[in-house]
Amino acid sequence: MTVASFHPPSRMLMGPGPSDIHSRVLQSLGRPIIGHLDPEFILMMDEIKGLLQYAFQTTNQMTLPISAPGSAGMEACFVNLVEPGDTIIVCVNGVFGGRMVENVERCGATAIKVEDEWGSPIDLNKLEDALKANPDAKAVAFVHAETSTGVQSDASAIAQLARDYEALTIMDAVTSLGGTPVLVDEWQIDACYSGTQKCLSCVPGISPITFSDKALEVIRTRNHKVQSWFLDMNLIMGYWSSEGSTRSYHHTAPVNTLYALHESLVMLKEEGLENAWKRHQRNHQALKAGLSALGLELIVDEAHRLPQLNAVKIPEGVDEALVRRRMLSDFGIEIGAGLGALAGKVWRIGLMGQSSSPRHVTLALAALEGVLTDLGVSIKDGDAAGAAQKVLLA
């Protein structure tokens, strides 16, 4: 077998992540490698910590990137904070809440599920009932922005409720970080993890994470060793702690991927969080106007809708997989399929990070209109791109 070098096809990524990556970040990836204990690398690690604190809006000392994807970031929160026999309340309104339940159970703990419809936000009354019924619950875990449905829940209110009942909070901010406000300190979230390949527009493979001092205390005073050696925060802090000379080897950091994370965070800082949030909102409004011109609806109620992840109802009788294939083959545009309970029922159009731009919105709408028309699907007003322009250029 002879294998040639791989050259990726030209794509525009508008699915649930990864999103498109700026050339500055791609170029940073290809810079020569240096050692993971090199003094210059360690200075860069400190900058990454500071930049992540900005992104998470926190002063938490334990704020750093886990050397593995978002699902490992999720697991890091659970294996460090949960011990066998604990009770954890998990809000489930999509795929990722379900994954949290798996995590709790694999820690030998009991998961009390608070379930809501896919596409609806977490119901605070149901959560309060669960907290009342389980006074020993150690933590409330929830997904801030459900990538599987495009819904955002009220993190501030959930965290307040958890505090009222003396429970910690574990928050999934994989899709929200950099796209909509994630205010870790203001909301008093105890553990929060994210991904890099969504609104940060970096390569996938690392998971930014932050723990409050209260969470740290829980980790330090555990009765059992953390079941994962690789994700044991007691050990990881030995490498990421700020005292340079006492830094101890845990695992080899993903050097070049961290170059890319650094660059993407520098770009976020340059743009400013508020501006990034506004940009995601504006492009979402434009997309919505265009979809509306095509007669397409979003499944999530306006009040809880994520601007960066748009779950679009598939019109009756349309072969949704064929539409996605045609978008990819004819235009090189990737949009996402439904996941779990929404498989076959929605397309997921991502406007995340670099993929949240007037260029993406305009082209995706024009391409979608063309494909649907070619497949004989009846559309409402048409000129979806034009409808988007009215918002974008207003």
Q: How many helices (H) and strands (E) does the chain have?
A: 14, 13
Task: Give least dist CB 391 to a copy of itself, A.
Answer: 27
The phi, psi pair for 30, rounded to 5°, reads -85, 5
Calculate ∠ Cα 160-193-52, nearest 5°. Answer: 100
Q: Does 225 bind a copy of itself (CB under 8 A)?
A: yes
Q: Does 305 bind a copy of itself (CB under 8 A)?
A: no
Edge-first strand listing for the sheet containing 12-14: 12-14, 333-337, 346-350, 309-313
Looking at residues 34 to 93 of the shown chain, list those that interact with a copy of itself (rule: CB under 8 A). 34-36, 38-41, 44, 47, 50-51, 54, 67-72, 74-75, 79
Looking at residues 91 to 110 of the shown chain, list those that interact with a copy of itself (rule: CB under 8 A). 99, 102-103, 105-107
Nearer to a copy of itself, 37 or 366 (CB): 37
Nearer to a copy of itself, 12 or 385 (CB): 12
Q: Does 244 bind a copy of itself (CB under 8 A)?
A: no
What is the distance between the alpha carbons of residues 169 and 55, in angstroms, rounded to a whole number? 19
Query: Of 110-118, 248-256, 273-281, 358-366, which segment contacts a copy of itself by CB under 8 A?
Result: 248-256
Contact pattern from residue 169 through residue 208 relative to a copy of itself, giving x for each residue in contact according to CB under 8 A and a dash for the rest: --------------------------x-x-----xxx---
Q: Does 20 bind a copy of itself (CB under 8 A)?
A: yes
Looking at residues 338 to 357 of the shown chain, list those that interact with a copy of itself (rule: CB under 8 A). 339
Calculate ∠ Cα 205-207-212, nearest 5°. Answer: 170
CB 326 within 8 A of CB 305: no
Nearer to a copy of itself, 5 or 246 (CB): 5
Nearer to a copy of itself, 165 or 331 (CB): 331
Render the burial of 39-67: b for 16+ CB within 10 Å, e for the rest: eebbebbeebbebbbebbbbebbbbbbbb
What is the distance between the alpha carbons of residues 305 and 351, in angstroms, rounded to a whole number? 13
